[in-house]
Amino acid sequence: MCGVIGIIGNKPVSRLIYHGLFSLQHRGQSSAGKLTYDGNIHLYKDYGLVRDVFNEERKIDTPGNVGIGHTRYSTTGMDDIESLKRNAQPEYVINPFLAAAHNGNIYNGSEIRKLTKRTPRTECDVQWLLLPMADELYDKRIGADEIFEAAERVMHLVKGSYSAVFVTDSGENPLLFAMTDPYKIRPLVFGEKDGMYCICSETRVFKKIKFDYIKDVPGGSVIVIDQKGNVYEERLIRKKERPCMFEFVYFAKPDSRINGKSVHNVRVEIGRRLAKEAPVDADIVVPVPESGRRYAIGFSRESGIPIDEGIMKDKFERSFIQQTQESRDKIVEEGISFIRSVLEGKRVVLVDDSIVRGTNIRRLVRGIKEAGAKEVHVRIGCPPLIAPCYLGIDMRSKREFIARREDGSIKSWDEIAKEIGADSLAYISHRSLREAIGMDICTGCIDFPNGYPEEMREDVKRLFSRDMFGKRAYEIE
């Protein structure tokens, strides 16, 4: 999962991209980068947070009326500093000049590598969009029609998810363009203000840089914008969109909208439905900050149990997207404190968005009980996660999921409750999750493999059964 942004217009875009990246920081905390173009390439990227990478004025203000930016969180399994530096985006090639920043995951990179004569400079799968697009555009006078033709061929070649932004040069003026996979797994939105155009991962960016929202970019589409403000768009492949359910559950910020749906409202509705499906006698509802807050609001409203802040979060890093288990543990241990005056003697409903590895929830349950709570009942706004994601969420190993036993079978809720130390545990149902979101969604991680788009199911079954980590693979029924 990453955040991307591209801006083009009649004045320098670098500072707008910089501010936009802050609004996307929650989507990636391992590296950040920004490229602007004025006939010359101005690129700064490195591992770390946006504020650390762009720590000097010369890095923030670079020339060019077109540019792209990226915040990355690694889903490749490489977490040493050198690999984080090397795989930071944007990436570019010369001849033709083409730069790209990508959100998603392309799982047939080994096939694409055999088809291109270019050598990828990094292990990051942005290469599997960048290189074939460059091959298709090579030795052409690049305009909208040429980009549409090239993109359609690349879309038929590439498997996986991608919402990507590109910069190239027509020979007359620079171009910004974007493309999305046919199922639109990852979000991408389009905005405008005073002849300036922005394409980015979430609508909250527009509030930060004071742009007006125009539309969500449809799946299988390409949008091309030149510096004169001409906008060209084609939907090259039409499929029924299947946005990632985890965008609604965890990744997108609550002040964003996806396909017109308020993320905040969806999470509140999930919490309301959760209270109806899994009621419990309790004294207070306590959200896990910040991820459980909207679910807890809905749960409290429906159940009538008052909500209170029994947990304080001191840090803003997101534990799920940390690169190592050690760093996840550190965030949880150092960043959380418990309010005894709220929790002592109470029967607590602890509400969160999801449980992946169990790292966070186990410590929270223990901390609440140590603060004097009589009971802790855990309620979760996402069904049990049971399978790795091959479309861009950092769930890499089948063995990471607390909901799975070592032999690959699925644990009961009571077993998981015992492991995390809770008095009871309940998850939202698949049906209620879908109804709360209100559109078709990709649910491969909770309903493997049938939750994936149909044409991907055989691919992901093969990936799942592969022994990628040097250990015995699970059998697939």
CA distance 464 to 456: 12
CA distance 106 to 130: 12
DSSP secondary structure string, 121-177?
Answer: SSSSTTHHHHHHHHHHHTTS---HHHHHHHHHHHHHH--EEEEEEEEEE-SSSEEEE
CA distance 288 to 142: 50
- Which is nearest to 71 in space by CA: 12, 110, 14, 18? 18
28 and 78 Cβ atoms separated by less than 8 Å:
no
Radius of gyration of the chain (CA): 22
Whether 2 sits among the annotated catalytic residues: the reply is yes
CA distance 350 to 278: 13
DSSP secondary structure string, 193-204?
Answer: ETTEEEEES-TH
Of 2, 244, 382, 442, catalytic: 2
DSSP secondary structure string, 399-464?
Answer: GG-TTB-TTSPBPPHHHHHHHHT-SEEEE--HHHHHHHHTS--B-TTTSTTTTS-GGGHHHHHHHH
| Plot region of 14 (φ>0 → left; ψ -120 to 50 → alpha; else → beta) | alpha
Beta-sheet pairing, 2-8 with 196-200 = antiparallel
Contacts of 230 (CB under 8 A, 6+ apart): none
Q: Known catalytic residues?
A: 2
